Amino acid sequence: MDASTSELPLFPELQPYRSGMLQVDARHTLYWEECGNPAGVPVLFLHGGPGGGISPRHRQFFDPAYYRIVLFDQRGAGKSTPLGEYRDNTTQLLIADIEALRAMLGIQQWLVFGGSWGATLALAYGQTHPQTCLGFILRGIFLCTCAEIDWFMYGMRWFFPEAHAAFVAAIPPEERGDLLQAYKRRLFSEDTEVSLQAARDWSRYEGSCLFLKPPPEIQQMLNDDVVALGVGRLEAHYFLHQGFMEEDQLIRDIGKIRHLPAMIVQGRYDAVCPPVSAYRLHEAWPEARLQIIADAGHAALEPGTAAALVAATEQFRLQQGFV
């Protein structure tokens, strides 16, 4: 992507009309915000990672005149506190947090929008609480299976060998047979500098593989320690516990949400979450629409993917579903 992300086909920048901090237990407090039309159709944005956090760009996938846009930083991410905290941090607790947020905001049902881990969480949430969902817009499908986790740790080197070489550079050769455990020892070290450096290495590895054509500002994204701490520690934490789900649980339980409208957007050259997972999801959920973006990798902020996501929110607005 040669152009700046400022030239993406998104709705104009907007500011929240309300925001706050929601304490969900003795350890975690979540940042949340609302944008757009307070009387509009509610839509929930679920960020990736785990630990990636929200950004102002994420508000711009939705028509602010129509949607009541709800965004929040999941446990340990972004402006939520404590940053990078993995204790009391599970998929089931995140689902409970979403329900606490929905109840606090007085929302009965909402459209659920998520990419990468956000799509994983959207599926897990929907399968737990289908009655609260109007439908789904999902991008860069990650089903949190053992094969996908192994791909992240080892397989991406087939496409990004230099990024993978940098990822393993600080790991002694005798530990490279189990990179996830090697990173666990460092990410959760009591030595804060060791932990931060491991988080930086993890985040830069993933960040280097996100785009088909990286934008000019990618280096700034890779050097953000807030993102690194959230993503590095929490992705490893969730990988170590296989997303706190049974193997292939999201495919097994798809019948709980098959009656709801859904759009799946997937980059053809997504090296982080390869298209086979989106294809498997579509096979299990043929009623959902699958759109493969021919010139995109994993990131939401690539021109073709961003355009498809905006088109999906617009189609839902016009048809209250995907026809």
Catalytic residue ranges: 116, 270, 298
Q: Which residue has the tokens 């002694």?
A: 172
For residue 7 the two structure tokens come to 């030239």
What is the distance between the alpha carbons of residues 29 and 39, in angstroms, rounded to a whole number?
Answer: 26
Say if CB 44 and CB 70 are below 8 A apart. Answer: yes
Tell me if the bond preceding 214 is cis, omega within 30° of 0. no
Helix locations, the chain, DSSP H: 91-105, 117-128, 146-153, 161-168, 179-187, 192-208, 218-222, 225-240, 249-252, 275-284, 303-319
Pairing of strands 262-267, 67-72: unpaired
Say if CB 198 and CB 183 are below 8 A apart. Answer: yes
DSSP E strands: which ranges in 6-84? Answer: 18-23, 29-36, 41-46, 67-72
Say if CB 13 and CB 58 are below 8 A apart. Answer: no
For residue 176 the two structure tokens come to 């490279």
